[in-house]
A and B are shown apart, each in its own frame.
Chain A
Amino acid sequence: MNAHLQPTGSAYFIAKETELAETHTLSVLVDNEPGVLARVIGLFSGRGYNIESLTVSETEHEAHLSRITIVTRGTPHVLEQIKNQLERLVPVHRVVDLTVRAAGLGHERPIERELALVKVHGSGEHRVEALRLADAFRASVIDANIDHFVFEITGKPSKIEQFIAIMKPLGLIEVCRTGIAAMNRGPQGM
């Protein structure tokens, strides 16, 4: 009846995204059973969600519970879907959007910390400079000989990025980062 109207169609309707993407940190409490991490990762890749950081480890050995911390980016609508889809997985106990909860508690963001091992070539003047800066960043030396250091540094991701950037001109060899561990401030648990 409206064939005269200007058509806009396709086999599927592809909408233009108008909402802005936000970065959120999610905590996911899961049964520590085989394949649980694959389920979580498969859900993200299968439904086209982003993962910026992911850490997982058993946190309650007796109860066989693991805690997964995921930093993801998406529009508020997508973030709500991610939470709902994660909660649908059988071994998932609980999903908390730490960023949303932090805002509810009046904080800018949840506590987020990361550990990095940073190996730096160090001899001559650079060696002294690297040590001095490590001290300023409260990084500790955990291995060294006459021409290298391995620093251990913990802190906010931004602090670690800054440390790595500074080490680059001083002879950065390699970096290993754990990804983010996070929880909210205050007395309540997730």
Chain B
Amino acid sequence: MSGTENQMTGAEIVLQALKDNGVEHIFGYPGGAVLPIYDEIFQQEDIQHILVRHEQGAGHMAEGYARSTGKVGVMLVTSGPGATNAVTPLQDALMDSIPLVCISGQVPTSLIGSDAFQECDTVGITRPCTKHNWLVRDVNELARVIHEAFRVAQSGRPGPVVVDIPKDIQFATGAYTPPSAVPTQKSYQPKTQGDLKKIEEAVALMKSARQPVIYSGGGVINSGPQAAHFLRELVELTDFPITSTLMGLGAYPASGKNWLGMLGMHGTYEANLAMHDCDVMICIGARFDDRITGRLNAFSPNSKKIHIDIDPSSINKNVRVDVPIIGDVAAVLEDMVRLWRAAAKTVDRTRLEDWWKSITKWRARNSLAYTPSADVIMPQYAIQRLYELTKDRDTYITTEVGQHQMWAAQFFGFEEPNRWMTSGGLGTMGYGFPAAVGVQVAHPDSLVIDIAGDASIQMCIQEMSCAVQYGLPVKIFILNNQYMGMVRQWQQLLHGNRLSHSYTEAMPDFVKLAEAYGGVGIRCEKPGELDEAIKQMIDTPAPVIFDCRVANLANCFPMIPSGKAHNEMLLPDEATDEAVANAIDAKGRQLV
């Protein structure tokens, strides 16, 4: 160390920069190219490091941590395989707009390009799956880059960033610059305030609407608690019906009177018909994903569309909109609520009566109905009981990907934002359990449950070891039907019921597996025993794997068969074998 005060080694700079950016936890796995940083971690106590069992787990943990707190999640991996294993969570965070900083070790600068041991082109590999990334070649640049990485990750539309640090830079000594002294990159200055003229135009359109619908998304959650607050206020003031994407659940409470349920491929009848028949659509922080819109040329054909989004590239990407408003959801909704209040006197509230009558009719269709059973646990019933027994607690839910994810979204009622963590855009099997571990790290006293499927859970099951090591009492609630249920459902729909490789013939004994890791295993096979078993799970102060044996062949409805319009849904009571077989024709199958 040289004489001046702010001279540090690169590894010290990393830790100091993390502290100065408010980091308390990092998720990581050591290796040759990050050993100097691990040596610094060893010598301090401000930041707690959570040792994972696979770098993918570290990434999803950081995502769960970020999504449940609104803070930036941080992961630390070594070069080569450490970095390549981080690719899946990076892309996952990119698609779901989760703020994530990934610090990776790299071989020493002099060896870059020589095919050195555990070398890979990390910035090259991660360029398309990050919002931005940096290779730091000068120790004096290190602090600035890390501060900028945090700014880029959490401002504008949030996303993942990578800072790749060669080992010699970690050893080298250089100057530390605190965050306040760092100039920000001029080319990246996201706009948060919406154009007032456009918001006025939107309010005018909303005033004249006779069949309006609010379609909100994950952007409301990302924007923070203020955004959910203004969204609720807007719904209250306007009395508009509201639906949400998978990512946006919880922004408006499921118990709210204007709530239509989730929309899209497995959304409710009332939500999808409201989208199809509306005359004004207000899209707030959502991106017209293909699972939402169905057949594009039949998507909400008669509506004027208002779109609030912080990312200009989301505007007119899939669906042409009439009033685009670029800005942060909270800031735009604040203006919108203010303008609506000012105009409230001139609004005719009776104009919505017919619209609400239609919605009441659609709701009565009861599109989430299923046939109950006294002998086998229906998966929908399992989620309903889990919800009833946990709703009065401080509960966080994560999911893997598949049928269980859709049932969780349909049957678990979310009242608050940041309580629901799921992989929406990328659809990453293996996301839910590590995400739950990350949530539990951030909220040690809360009840954190990963609603899982028997196939997905096996993709990152190794993190049981991590949960046990840190005493994180995460609950894994597996809807075990022995199938990759969603794959099977699609094979039934699209591929003549030929169930190619969607049945798992050799399933582990999940109870014994939990015990092998040092956790607790519970199995339940009878509907009559389910409540007691769930209570036992909740009361266990340790990681639990709950093997919930459910009806093997249950399918997830309602469903908009892909390529269909919102008003061409398959409803559960109409989904006979024949209807399922004919839902998609031969021409459609060839296009897949």
| A contact set with B: CB distance below 8 Å | 1-3, 5-15, 30-31, 34-35, 38-39, 42, 46, 77, 80-81, 84-85, 87-93
Interfacial residues of chain B within 280-299, with CB under 8 A of chain A in the complex: 290, 294-297
19 residue pairs from A and B, CB less than 8 Å apart: A2-B568, A5-B568, A8-B295, A8-B585, A9-B295, A9-B562, A9-B588, A13-B296, A13-B562, A30-B187, A31-B185, A31-B187, A39-B127, A81-B317, A84-B315, A88-B312, A90-B131, A90-B152, A93-B186
Interfacial residues of chain B within 94-133, with CB under 8 A of chain A in the complex: 123-124, 127-128, 131-132
Q: Say which residue of B128, B494, B563, B578 sits within 8 Å of A13 (CB atoms).
A: B563
Q: Say which residue of A11, A13, A88 sits within 8 Å of B313 (CB atoms).
A: A88
Interface size class of B (residues with CB under 8 A): 35 or more
Q: Which residue of the partner chain A has the closest CB to B314?
A: A84
Residues of B within 8 A of A92 (CB): 187
Q: Is the CB of A10 within 8 A of B290?
A: no
Q: Which residue of the partner chain B has the closest CB to A34?
A: B135
Min CB–CB distance A4 → chain B (angstroms): 8
What's the Cα separation between A77 and B318 when bound, in Å?
9
Residues of B within 8 A of A90 (CB): 131-132, 152, 185, 187-188
Is B525 among interface residues, defined by CB-CB distance under 8 A? no
What's the Cα separation between A48 and B563 when bound, in Å?
22
Q: Is the CB of A2 within 8 A of B127?
A: no
Residues of A within 8 A of B574 (CB): 1, 3
Q: A3-B582, A30-B187, A84-B312 are in contact. List 8 more A-B contacts (CB 8 A).
A: A1-B570, A9-B588, A13-B290, A13-B296, A15-B296, A81-B313, A81-B316, A92-B187
Q: What 9 A-B pairs are tightest by C-beta distance, nearest first?
A: A9-B563, A10-B591, A84-B313, A3-B579, A9-B588, A90-B132, A11-B592, A7-B585, A93-B187
Interfacial residues of chain B within 155-195, with CB under 8 A of chain A in the complex: 185-188
What's the Cα separation between A18 and B313 when bound, in Å?
22
Q: Is the CB of B127 within 8 A of A35?
A: yes
Q: Is the CB of B563 within 8 A of A42?
A: no
What's the Cα separation between A92 and B583 when bound, in Å?
46
Q: Known contacts A38-B124, A39-B127; decide if A13 and B294 are in contact (CB<8 Å).
A: yes
Q: Which residue of the partner chain A has the closest CB to B317?
A: A81
Is B475 among interface residues, defined by CB-CB distance under 8 A? no
Q: Is the CB of B131 within 8 A of A6?
A: no
Q: Is the CB of B562 within 8 A of A12?
A: yes
Q: Known contacts A35-B123, A42-B128; decide if A9 and B584 are in contact (CB<8 Å).
A: yes
